[in-house]
Homo-oligomer: A and B are copies of this chain.
Amino acid sequence: MDERVHEHAAVLVDWSAQVEAGDNVVLSVGPDAHDLAVAVAEALGARGANLLATYASSEISRAYLQAHEGAFTENPAHEQALYEAADVVLSIGGGRNTAAMADVPSERRQDYRTARKAVREARYDTRWVSTVHPTRSLAQQAGMAYGEYQDFAYDAILRDWESLAEEMDNMKTVLDSGSEVRLVKEGTDLTMAIDGRTAVNSAASVKYDSHNLPSGEVFTAPYATEGTVLFDVPMTLNGESVRDVRLEFEDGEVVDHDAAEGEGVVGEILDTDEGARRLGELGIGMNRGIDRFTDNILFDEKMGDTVHLAVGRAYDACLPEGETGNESAVHTDMITDMSEDSRLEVDGEVIQRNGTFRWEDGFEE
C-alpha cells in the first residue's frame, strides 16, 4: 500500500477528527475507497476507538431512488439512532463513476434529502469529517492520469495544517470584525452582510469547526445578499455539468438565475425549499497546495485565489450561540475565480486584489 494512504488515514483520524479511545466511529466507505478504509481501520484500532463501517455507493442509491414509488416521507429511525449514538463520522468518498446518479431526477434526490433531515442533523452533531480516496474515476473527472491525480490529491491533503491555520487566521480576524463583504469582478458585484457572524478558520480539523479534508478556506454565513454574482468555474452538480451560473439577489434571495450550461439543475436546487434561495456560506479559498480545478468541490472550493458561495444550509459554527441561520435541505457550493481583475472588500477596504491578500507581498492597495 502507498505510504501516503497511511499518512492520509493518520491525518484524518488524529488531526481532523481528533479521535480518542472509546469513541464510537462510523466510517462511511465508497466502493473504491477500500484501501484508505483499511488504513483508517488500522488507525482506529490502534487508538482504541469503536468502528462501524457503512457503504456509500451511488449505484445503490440510484437503484433505490429509481425503484421507489411515491413520496419520500420516512426519516429512517435506525440510521438516526446510529448517528445519535456516534461520536465521530468519517466519510471516505471514492466511487467508480462520478456520473452514477446521472439519470435520477434532481427532484427525487431532493425529496429524499428533505425527508432525511433529522438523520442529517444527527450526523452534523458528531465530529464529522469528509474526505476522498483518490480513485481512477476522480482522476478521469479531473482529466488527469491516475498517478498524476494521486500526487495532486496528496499535495492538497498532506499539508502542514498547523501552519496553514496560522496563515488563515488573518482572514478570520478581518471577517470577524467586519460588517459587509463585497465581491467585484466582470459580471459580479455582490454585497453580503456578515455582521454578528463568526468566521471559521477551516483548517481540516473539528477543533477549528472544520469538517473537510483537504480544507484550507475561511468561511462564514452571510445574509441580506444584494446584487449579481457569476460563478465562472465549471463544475458538476448532481451529476450534471454546469457553467457560468449567474445569480441575482434582492433582499437576500435569488430573484433571477441563468447559466451557459445546466440552468435546469440549478433551478431545481433553488426550488428545493425556501432556504435554497438564500446563501448559507461565503468561503474564501486559501489552500495553495491545490493548483488547478478538478471538477470536485471538495478540492476546487479550497483552491487559493477563489471564492465560493453556497445556497442553502448555513453552518451553526458561524452563528451566534442558540441562533439558527439559513435552513435548507441543500447546501450547494459554486465557485468564482478571484485570481485576475477582481477584488474582495470588507467594509470598503480591499482585502484581496487579483489573487493577492493584503498581508502578502505584492499586494496593491
Q: Contact residues of A with B, CB < 8 Å?
A: 22, 24, 26-27, 29, 31, 34, 37-39, 41-46, 48, 50-57, 59-61, 63-70, 74, 76-87
Contact = CB atoms under 8 A, between A and B. Distances in A.
B78 A52 contact: yes
B59 A34 contact: yes
A50 B57 CA distance: 15
Going nearest first, the 6 A-B pairs with the smallest beta carbon separation are: A45-B67, A50-B76, A55-B55, A78-B85, A45-B64, A81-B85
A51 to B, nearest CB: 6
Contact of A54 (B53, B66, B85): B53
Contact of A78 (B34, B68, B86): B86
A41 B46 CA distance: 34
Contacts of A55: 27, 29, 37, 53-55
Contact of A69 (B41, B48, B51): B48
Contacts of A22: 74
A45 B68 contact: yes
B67 A46 contact: yes
Contact of A39 (B31, B53, B63, B78): B63
A33 B53 CA distance: 15
Given A43-B67, A45-B65, A53-B56, 16 more contacts: A37-B57, A37-B60, A38-B59, A41-B67, A44-B64, A45-B64, A45-B67, A52-B78, A53-B60, A54-B54, A77-B85, A78-B82, A78-B86, A79-B82, A81-B81, A81-B82
Given A34-B59, A52-B78, A53-B54, A64 B42 contact: yes
A96 to B, nearest CB: 9
A37 B57 CA distance: 10
Given A63-B39, A64-B44, A67-B46, A52 B34 contact: no
A78 to B, nearest CB: 4
25 contacts: A24-B76, A27-B55, A34-B59, A37-B55, A37-B60, A38-B59, A38-B60, A38-B63, A41-B64, A42-B66, A43-B67, A44-B64, A45-B66, A45-B68, A46-B69, A48-B68, A50-B76, A52-B78, A78-B83, A79-B82, A80-B85, A81-B84, A81-B85, A82-B82, A82-B85
Contacts of A65: 45
A305 to B, nearest CB: 38
